[in-house]
């Protein structure tokens, strides 16, 4: 994509949407950026932060007609808006359907209408063998994007694809700000299960996945970053050691309470299913999951340095080489989540 482009970011007030705006501000290939969200106060804050550099508009992905208006003239759409919290989706599945499934369908239809060149959907590793409504809705979003690509082949209306994130440390509602708040109050820090493991990424990692896959995508794929894995108990221990002194507290005085797993919560996450492993490729930084019904797409998927993925290798977080507490501390500082000079 060497020609200058107009790009739309849905969910621009969220952690990933905001981080994407900050990166796009440094990229000269985008002549115009439009941020869309249904958070009025958040949009006002972004307008103050970027001071006329970008345009912002109030809009909800549940409103397909509004999206058709907002997507007019767009070359690229980065769709990050979603309901992302497992408990809220579990308690109100109909709302998750409206946003995470019907909302994706609205984005696809509006993008087709505007003849957008590239449409990216941000998914989650919870879409792999989902055990909850949120993960199931994200899996359906991925399948809608792949189906949109099959239709795009017939109508020549662009490239549709997905990226699959792990747990983005520091994002709204993630465990990092929760632990930080609990430590600041003197504890206790609450753990669901001492053996729980997760794939993690920083906002910087997430933005890199989005922007790099945007260049690589050929249609219908799911791009998955090769992520670090850690034990949540180790993350809590590192944060207590590093942050307690900054609040005038002693780490040994911060209690850790085990409260048990939440309904629908896995002890570990997976990056891809066994079935997906049979149609995946490996790049230096990514796994690329190709569409299941390749004959529908008419694409010969070729990427530089791509290697066939080992069939049956599904990468569960608890089976990986987990980061040590020292490595977690270094990663958090590198990601800007802890100040330099911590424990």
Please name the residue that has the structure tokens 């490595």: 327
Q: Output phi, psi for 218, to 5 deg.
A: -120, -5
Nearest one of 120, 109, 117, 22 to 74, comparing CA atoms: 117
CB 136 within 8 A of CB 143: no
What is the gyration radius of the CA atoms in the chain, in angstroms?
20
CB within 8 Å of 318: residues ≥ 6 apart: 195, 197, 229, 267, 268
DSSP labels, 224-278: EE--EEEEHHHHHHHHHHHHGGGGT--GGG--EEE--PPTT--SS-BSS-HHHHT
Query: Would strands 286-289 and 256-258 be described as parallel, antiparallel, or unpaired?
Result: unpaired
SS3 assignment, position 100:
helix
Q: Is 126 assigned a catalytic role?
A: yes
Q: Which residue has the tokens 């399948």?
A: 143
Neighbours of 154 (CB within 10 A): 9
Q: CA-CA distance, 203 to 21, in Å (whole number)?
A: 12
Catalytic residue from among 4, 5, 98, 126? 126
CA 140 from centroid of its chain's CA atoms: 15
167 and 337 in contact (C-beta within 8 Å)?
A: no
- The full DSSP string for 8-27 is EEETTTSHHHHHHHHHHTT-
Q: How far is CA 73 from CA 47, 112, 114, 172, in A?
A: 21, 12, 7, 31
User: Catalytic site residues?
Assistant: 126
């Amino acid at each position: 994509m060497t020609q200058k482009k107009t790009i739309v970011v849905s969910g621009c007030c969220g952690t990933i949407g905001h981080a994407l705006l900050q990166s796009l501000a440094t990229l000269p290939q985008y002549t115009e950026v439009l941020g869309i969200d249904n958070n009025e106060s958040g949009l006002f804050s972004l307008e103050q932060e970027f001071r006329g550099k970008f345009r912002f508009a109030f809009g909800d992905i549940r409103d397909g007609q509004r999206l058709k208006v907002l997507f007019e003239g767009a070359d690229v759409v980065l769709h990050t808006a979603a309901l992302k919290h497992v408990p809220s989706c579990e308690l109100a599945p109909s709302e998750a359907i409206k946003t995470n499934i019907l909302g994706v369908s609205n984005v696809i239809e509006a993008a087709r209408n505007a003849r957008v060149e590239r449409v990216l959907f941000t998914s989650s590793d919870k879409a792999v063998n989902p055990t909850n409504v949120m993960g199931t809705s994200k899996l359906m979003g991925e399948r809608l994007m792949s189906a949109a690509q099959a239709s795009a082949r017939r109508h020549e209306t662009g490239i549709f694809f997905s990226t699959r994130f792990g747990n983005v440390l520091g994002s709204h509602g993630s465990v990092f700000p929760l632990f930080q708040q609990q430590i600041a109050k003197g504890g206790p820090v609450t753990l669901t299960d001492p053996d729980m493991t997760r794939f993690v990424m920083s906002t910087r990692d997430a933005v890199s996945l989005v922007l790099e896959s945007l260049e690589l995508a050929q249609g219908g794929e799911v791009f998955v970053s090769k992520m670090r894995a850690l034990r949540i108990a180790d993350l809590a221990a590192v944060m207590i050691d590093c942050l307690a002194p900054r609040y005038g507290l002693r780490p040994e005085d911060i209690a850790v309470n085990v409260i048990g797993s939440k309904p629908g919560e896995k002890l570990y996450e997976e990056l891809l299913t066994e079935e997906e492993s049979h149609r995946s490729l490996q790049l230096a930084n990514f796994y690329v999951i190709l569409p299941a019904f390749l004959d529908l797409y008419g694409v010969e998927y070729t990427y530089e340095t791509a290697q066939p993925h080992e069939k049956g290798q599904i990468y569960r977080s608890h089976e990986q080489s987990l980061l040590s507490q020292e490595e977690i501390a270094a990663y958090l500082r590198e990601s800007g989540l802890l100040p330099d000079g911590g424990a």
